Structure 1
Amino acid sequence: MDYLGNKELLNLHKTGFLSSRKCPASVVLKSYEWAKAQRQQGNCIVCGNHSTIEKDVFEILLKGSQPLILVLARHMKSRWDENITTALNQNRLLIISPFPENVKRITRETAYCRNLEIIKMCDCLTVGYVSPGGQLAKLLEKKNFSYL
């Protein structure tokens, strides 16, 4: 695993956020509200940044001041957006890549592995939406989590 940022965040109580790529509009709105509440409460959230809903939730959280862990579905990037660099400089962000250097593209398999890593490292899990029969549904079959 490669790490960039504050590894001390791993010692905090962590809530993971996962959601299937396609989800109803009502779930999208609930996810946004959930992210805003987590930001206000200062909770450490672990999420990805691949699907549209994950990107949106991550961006909402990034605007706050709470700790945040981003788990990638590929190897570490060499350049980051300014808002990510700012959070790294504030010691409130940790970026993790569980993949070797040669994994430059996100695939269905790397997304699955990333989601598994998020589940393993979190104390609790919140799920926006699970598409019936999808990869996330299979991964979560025997896990305890809360729906939005």
Structure 2
Amino acid sequence: MFRTAFLCSREIPASVVLKCYDWAIKQREKGNCVISGFHSKIEKDVFHYLLAGTQPVIMTLARGMKEKIEPELKAAVDAGRLLIATPFENSVQRVTAETAERRNRFMIELADEVVIGFASKGGMLERLIVEVKGKVIVQV
């Protein structure tokens, strides 16, 4: 199965928001598998659009595994549509800049293609995409 990682900086220009929503709707309509942390506001919005479909989605945590699955996620998990993954032991309970970066690297490793909603100048995401080798990187 072809997997696309979606990453986006926390702060994004208003002009990019609708492009990200349109991209998410297209992925949902095509049935494409999307991997993301779904942590930033825009990533959460993208997750909302994806969860309305039937395609597989992979949520990647920047901490250890959740002890309880939220009710809004449980139906998708039970249906085998939502996989929750983490590169961390359960003892890692807080999200930090370091765990977010490690999570992002993990997502990129799992993905066949990387889609960037927006990367802030000088931010972690901008640095990270420069380091990515052997993956297709697409800007929304």
TM-score by length of 1: 0.89
- Taking the aligned partners of 2:70 and 2:19, their CA distance within structure 1 comes to 26
- Taking the aligned partners of 1:115 and 1:75, their CA distance within structure 2 comes to 14
Q: Which residue of 2 aligns with 1:52?
A: 41
Q: Which residue of 1 aligns with 2:115?
A: 126
1:147 correspondence with 2:117: no
Gap regions ≥5 residues in structure 2: none
Q: Alpha-carbon deviations, 1:94-122, whole Å to 9, x = none?
A: 11011112111100000000100111110
Superposition pairs of residues 14-25 of structure 1, within 5 angstroms: 14-25=3-14
2:21 to 11, 17, 32: 32
Q: Alpha-carbon deviations, 1:74-132, whole Å to 9, x = none?
A: 11111222221000111111110111121111000000001001111100111000001
Q: Which residue of 1 aligns with 2:126?
A: 137
- Taking the aligned partners of 1:137 and 1:124, their CA distance within structure 2 comes to 16
Q: Alpha-carbon deviations, 1:34-91, whole Å to 9, x = none?
A: 0011001100110112111111111211111101111001111112222210001111
Gap regions ≥5 residues in structure 1: 1-11
1:94 to 78, 83, 91: 83
**Most deviating of 41-50 and 76-85:** 76-85
Report percent identity of matched pairs: 46
Q: Which residue of 2 aligns with 1:4?
A: none
SS in 2 for 1:23: coil
Counting matched residue pairs gives 137
Letter in 1 for 2:120: S
- Taking the aligned partners of 1:15 and 1:137, their CA distance within structure 2 comes to 18
What is the RMSD computed on CA atoms of the aligned residues?
1.0
Q: Which residue of 2 aligns with 1:116?
A: 105
SS in 2 for 1:114: helix
Report if aligned partners of 1:19, 1:130 keep a CA contact under 8 Å in 2: yes
- Taking the aligned partners of 1:114 and 1:60, their CA distance within structure 2 comes to 22
